[in-house]
Structure 1
Amino acid sequence: MTDTIAITGVTGDVGGKTLALLHASGADVRAVVRRSEQADRLRERGVDARLADLDDVDALTRALDGVDRFFLVTPVSERQAEQGEAGVRAAQRAGVPRIVHLSGGDAAEHSPMPWAAAAWRTDRLVRESGLAWTILHPSAFMTNLVPSAPAIRRGWYPHTTGRGRAGWIDTVDIARTAAAVLTSDDHDGTEPVLTGPRALDAAGIAGELSAGLGRRVRPLHLPSRVYRAVVRAGGVPAWQAEGLRQQFGRVLRRGLDGVDVMSDDVSRITGTAPRSLREWAADHRGELME
C-alpha cells in the first residue's frame, strides 16, 4: 500500500505543480481545498479532494484523517501565521507521521516582511511538533517576475534591489524537490535551501531575460517608495506592497536573513540541476512579451 500524501495550497503555484507531479507519478495524493467547485474539478481529474479551510482546525483535521505525509503550503495573507499554526495542529491531531513545510529562504523571526516572519513561526512549530519533518527554504520565485511584464515588454526590468543578489528559482524545481522529499524517508529533520543555478542581481536578471526573450532588457532601479507606489497602482493591498518594498528595498538589497545563500540541494535531492532564468524566460515568452 502506498502512502497517502495531502497537500494544501493546490490552487496556487508550488502546491499545484507538486500535486500534478505526484498525481502523474501514480502517488496516492489528496488535495485539501476551500471550495466545492475546486474539489469537483480535481475529482474530475481523478484526484482525491477534501474540503477544509486553513482557518478551521477541526475541518482540516478531518481532511487529514488517514494521511501519511502532509505538504503544508500557506498562502501569503495577513493570517498566514495563524493558518500555518492550524496546519501543524491539525496534523498532530490527525496523527500524520510526517510533515513538510514550504517556508522561505528569508524566513526570520523579526523580518519586516509579514510572510517571512509567518514562515519562521510555522517553522518553529514544525520543529517542535513531535512529527517527522522537513522544511523547504526556497529562494525568490522566477514567477514573481511576471507582474513586471508590461515594463519588460518595453525593454525594462524595474527593481529596487540595488546590487543585492538572490538565487532565483523556477517553481517547477521547487515542486520537483517537494515531490522527491514527500516520497522519501531520507530527509527527516533537514532544511534544504532551494536555489537556481546562479545568484543574480538586477543586472544579471536583465541579462538572463534578454538572453531568454531574444531582445534587450535593461535594469531600471527605482527608489523603494516609488517601487511601492508602482506595486500599489497594480492593485496590491497596502500591507503587501509595503512588505514587498521591505523585501526588495531592504532585505534583498542588503543581503539580510540569508536571502543570498546559494545551495546545490535541488540537484542533490532530485538528481537534476535547477533551470536557469534564461530557460524560464524562454518558456514564458508568451506571458512576458505578448
Structure 2
Amino acid sequence: MYVVLGANGRAGGEAARALIERGEAVRVVLRRKEQGEKWTELGAEVAVANIEDADAMTDALRGTSGAFLLNPPPVSGDPFARTEELGAALADAARRARLLKAVVLSSIGAQHASGTGVIATLNRVEALLGGVAPATAFLRSGYFVETWSEVAQTVVSESVLPSFIEPSQKIPMVSTIDVGRTAAALLCEEWTGKRVVELGGPEDWSAGEVAVAFADFLGRPVVPVPVPAERRAALLAEQGVPDEVAHALLGMYEGIANGLFRREKDSEHRRGSVSLMTAIERVVATGGPASR
C-alpha cells in the first residue's frame, strides 16, 4: 500500500489516481473525513490526519510500502516558518513509522536556498526530509500548466492572458497529470539512497505559447499581457492573497526572471508526455484546476 498526501490538490490527486490506475493499494491522507467519499468510491483507503500532527501522521504512514509527501502551498502566515513546522513534523512521523520509500514533491530551482521566493521553502523541505526513508526521491517539478487556470476566466472573457512571466521566456512547465504519473512510477521503482528527479513537459514552454494554446482551443486570438512588476503586489492583494504569501510568490517570479528556475546539471532529467494543448484544453473544459 502507498500513502498519498494532498490527494485533494493538483499533484497529490494525480499521484493517487495514477497509483490506483496501476492497480496499487492506496491510502489517501485528508484533513477531514467528509473529503474522502470520492476516494472511497475509487477504492482507496482514507486516513484522517493533519500534517503537523506527527502522531496521526505516524499512524497513517506505518506499515506501508512508500509515500508521496509534500509541503502544502502556503495560504496564510509566513511560508518559511510554516515549512519549518510542517517539515519537522513530517520528518518525525516518517522516521517513527519506519517509512521504507518516500517521493517528496519539490520544484525545479529548489537547489537555491534563496532568490526564488516560495520555491526556497522547498530547498528547506529537501533538507528536512533528506534521508527520512532508505529510499528517498525529490521530484522537482516544472511550473504546473494547471496554474494558468487561475487566469482562465480572464482569457475566456477578454482574450488576454495576464502573466507574471515574460511572454517569450521558455521555462520548464509540466501538466500535473505527468507529475502524478511520475510520482507513481518512482514509488513503484526499486532503489536505495537519495535521488533528485527533475520533471518537465515534452518540451519547455513560454507564456506566449500558453496564449497560443488557449487561442487554438477557443478559436480566436489570445494576447499574452505581462503584468508590470510594480502592479503585481496590488493585484495579489485584490485577490485576497495575504502579504507574506504574496511576497513569497512574487519572489518566485523574480527568480524565474533572473534565470534561477532551471534544471540542476547532475540530477535525473525526465519529461512527461502530456502536451501543452491537452493540458490547456482540460483547464478550459473544467473551468479550473484539473480533475478527471
Q: Can you give the 5+ residue segments of structure 1 that lack an aligned partner in the other structure?
A: 268-272
1:1-290 → structure 2 map (5 Å cutoff): 4-77=1-74, 78=79, 79-107=82-110, 108-114=112-118, 116-129=119-132, 131-153=134-156, 154-162=158-166, 163-186=168-191, 188-248=193-253, 250-258=254-262, 265-267=269-271, 273-287=272-286
User: 1:71 corresponds to which letter in structure 2?
Assistant: F
User: 2:284 corresponds to which letter in structure 1?
Assistant: R
User: 2:180 corresponds to which letter in structure 1?
Assistant: A
Figure out how many residues of one structure are paired with residues of the other and give that number.
Answer: 278
Q: Can you give the 5+ residue segments of structure 2 that lack an aligned partner in the other structure?
A: none
User: 2:232 corresponds to which letter in structure 1?
Assistant: Y
Please give the per-residue CA displacement for 1:63-107, whole angstroms capped at 9, x wherever unaligned: 112112011022112323421232222111111111110011122
> Kindly, what percent of the aligned residue pairs are identical?
27
| 8 Å contact from structure 1 (residues 142, 168) kept in 2 | yes
| 8 Å contact from structure 1 (residues 9, 75) kept in 2 | yes
Quote the offset at 1:40 in angstroms: 4.9
Normalising by structure 1, we get a TM-score of 0.86
Provide the secondary structure at the position in 1 that maps to 2:183.
helix
Quote the offset at 1:31 in angstroms: 1.1
Q: Which structure ranks higher in relative contact order (CA pairs < 8 Å, sequence separation ≥ 6)?
A: 2
Please give the per-residue CA displacement for 1:38-77, whole angstroms capped at 9, x wherever unaligned: 2455334431111211111111111112112011022112
Q: Which moved more, 1:232-241 or 1:23-32?
A: 232-241
Quote the offset at 1:203 in angstroms: 2.1
Residues 160/43 of structure 1: CA separation in 2 closer, same or farther (3 Å cut): closer
Large movers: runs of 4+ above 6 Å? none
| 8 Å contact from structure 1 (residues 173, 266) kept in 2 | no
Aligned to 1:270: none
Distance in 1 (CA, whole Å) between partners of 2:96 and 2:35 is 25
Residues 284/110 of structure 1: CA separation in 2 closer, same or farther (3 Å cut): closer
Give the strand-richer structure, 1 or 2.
2
Normalising by structure 2, we get a TM-score of 0.86
| 8 Å contact from structure 2 (residues 149, 284) kept in 1 | no
Residues 130/71 of structure 1: CA separation in 2 closer, same or farther (3 Å cut): closer
Quote the offset at 1:130 in angstroms: 5.5
Distance in 2 (CA, whole Å) between partners of 1:219 and 1:49 is 42
Distance in 1 (CA, whole Å) between partners of 2:202 and 2:223 is 21
